[in-house]
Amino acid sequence: MRTVRVGAGQGFYGDTPAGALDVARNGDVAYICFDALAELTMAILQKDRMRNPEGGYTRDLPPFMRLLLPVARERGIRLITNAGGMNPAGAAAAVRGVARDLGMHELRVATVSGDDLTSRLDELRDAGAALDHLDTGASINDVRSRVVFAVAYLGARPVVEALRQDADVVVTGRVADASLFVAPMVHELGWAWDDWDRLAAGTVLGHLMECSGQATGGNFSGDWWDVPDLDRVGYPVAEVREDGTALLTKPHGSGGRVSVDTVKEQLLYEVLDPRTYMNPDVVADFTSAKLRDVEPDVVEVSGVSGSARPDALKVIAGYLDGWMGTAMIGYSWPDAEAKARRAAVLIDKLAQRAGLEPLEQLVEVVGVDSLHGDAATRDDQVNEVMLRVAARFQSEEEAARFPRVAMPLALNGPPFIGGSGSPGGPRALLGVWPSLVARELVEPHVTVDVQPAGVTT
């Protein structure tokens, strides 16, 4: 029975390259897949591109490639990443540049494009795509004039095409997280595009691997204190069989833990309905998966079933949604929390006096309720807290003025220990608009371009 070994190299923009290097050196893999994107990441990358049209891809992609390409080339490992973000062509050019610097002029780099719908929104609406808000049903007309980007979640098919064209590195935009991992399985094991159970098995495995160390002991809520060597946690490696069953493990000698318990936590991570997990390639039933510890740090995954893929693709649009100004002040024992809450009231009054009316506002007492709000367990007294008041305004000028209204409290309010305004100044805010679009309006526009690193045009 044919098998393929696929490793995880990244779980988010800003992840360490150490896990990917360990997989490359000690994971005995043929492919490493890097998931760099999330809705927040797309917004960050769009802001980058608004500042610099040549940006829009993750800035850690070139240093990742500089570290990994020598090992990958030596061992015949192919790399797949969605770090292209809002500019996959620019990202692929950057990878080719790194390869040339390393003397790898024959390295074949693929660019997968066509997920970016920003310039096509009106065309799509004319073709019958309503693009209503997926959760509220609101019309995109409400924000259309403020939309700055829109991307569709593509599936594995264009990545498989890039691999078929002998790409050594595949750079994509918004390809769905799990689909990055499904692609090498389809390519190597010959799965059909309507083999729903095997595609569902690949999607489950991709979901288990997309968050790097989160399936191998990271963020584990069980006996996390006993998970060994989290300073060098091993990233997941899956040995996938032709029938869709697989062994999930990590590089030999690495830290962390692979067990049914660590895997189950990741299986349910970011899942709304585990019976109907919608991916561009298939609808997977996560409840059908059978997990079994077969030896230390090896879990067998089997029994996954699936059904036909959705007719529509998910689309995420980002729209300008005002500016944020932030005031922060620290308060110490005694009565630290009471001081902070009184200061928040005073900031409201000072803002009103200054003619500032936030569109919305968030008050946090960091150290007491910054994560769980009123559900947090509180002690009678805490040693110190930071008051954080974040407010959204229509204009950048209002957001810039907001932190200054709190400055008089340095001498005029409750006794304090220190404070600051908005770190880095006012911040532009992007709202997220989820919707659906028929796949036949998107997929014919998807392109795969494979170029050797020596090609500079």
- The CATH code of the domain that includes 344 is 3.30.70.100
347 shares a domain with 224: no
End position of a domain, from candidates 275, 310, 345: 310
Q: What is the pLDDT of residue 418?
A: 78
- Residue 134 domain flag: no
65 shares a domain with 213: yes
Q: What is the mean pLDDT of the chain?
A: 94
Question: Which residues touch 233 (CB under 8 Å, ≥6 apart)?
Answer: 19, 213, 216, 217, 218, 250, 254, 255, 256
Of 142, 139, 116, 114, the C-alpha closest to 129 is 139
294 shares a domain with 329: no
Residue corresponding to tokens 């924000």? 143
Q: Using the predicted structure, report yes or no on whether residue 420 has a pLDDT greater than 70.
A: no
Are residues 259 and 241 in contact, defined by beta-carbon separation less than 8 angstroms?
no
Are residues 218 and 258 in contact, defined by beta-carbon separation less than 8 angstroms?
no
- Total domain count, the chain: 2
371 shares a domain with 337: yes
End position of a domain, from candidates 256, 278, 310: 310
Alpha-carbon gap, residue 365 to 348, rounded angstroms: 15
Bridge-based pairing state of the strands 283-285 and 108-113: unpaired
Alpha-carbon gap, residue 205 to 258, rounded angstroms: 14
338 shares a domain with 282: no
Q: What is the pLDDT of residue 380?
A: 63
Q: What is the pLDDT of residue 373?
A: 63
Q: What is the pLDDT of residue 352?
A: 96
Query: For the residues 149-161, what does the mean pLDDT come to?
Result: 98
327 shares a domain with 296: no
Sheet hosting strand 277-278, strand order edge to edge: 277-278, 283-285, 305-307
Q: Omega into 334 within 30° of 0, i.e. cis?
A: yes
- Residue 364 domain flag: yes
- Residue 218 domain flag: yes
- Residue 455 domain flag: no
Greater pLDDT, 365 or 448: 448
Tally Cβ neighbours within 10 Å of residue 305. Answer: 17
Signed CA dihedral, 240, 246, 248, 252: sign only: negative
355 shares a domain with 255: no
Q: Which of 59-68, 77-86, 447-456 has the least mean pLDDT?
A: 447-456
Q: Which of 140-154, 277-291, 323-337 has the least mean pLDDT?
A: 323-337
Question: Tens digits of per-residue pLDDT, 168-227?
Answer: 999 999 999 999 999 999 999 999 999 999 999 999 999 999 999 999 999 999 999 999
Bridge-based pairing state of the strands 312-332 and 360-366: unpaired
- Residue 88 domain flag: yes
Instruction: Give pTM, 2 decimals.
Output: 0.92
In this prediction, residue 233 has a pLDDT band, given cuts at 50, 70 and 90, of: very high
348 shares a domain with 240: no
Question: Which residues touch 303 (CB under 8 Å, ≥6 apart)?
Answer: 288, 289, 290
In this prediction, residue 1 has a pLDDT band, given cuts at 50, 70 and 90, of: confident
- Residue 454 domain flag: no
Q: Using the predicted structure, report yes or no on whether residue 39 has a pLDDT greater than 90.
A: no
334 shares a domain with 270: no
Q: What is the pLDDT of residue 198?
A: 98
- Residue 411 domain flag: yes
Question: Tens digits of per-residue pLDDT, 354-413?
Answer: 999 999 999 999 887 666 666 655 556 778 888 999 999 999 999 999 999 998 998 888
Of 266, 313, 308, the C-alpha closest to 289 is 266
Q: Using the predicted structure, report yes or no on whether residue 63 has a pLDDT greater than 70.
A: yes
Three-state SS at 297 = coil
- Residue 135 domain flag: no
256 shares a domain with 111: yes
Of 189, 194, 288, the C-alpha closest to 244 is 189
Residue corresponding to tokens 């010959």? 190
354 shares a domain with 302: no
206 shares a domain with 326: no
Alpha-carbon gap, residue 392 to 404, rounded angstroms: 15
Name the residue range of residue 342's domain.
Answer: 320-431
Query: For the residues 298-305, what does the mean pLDDT come to?
Result: 98
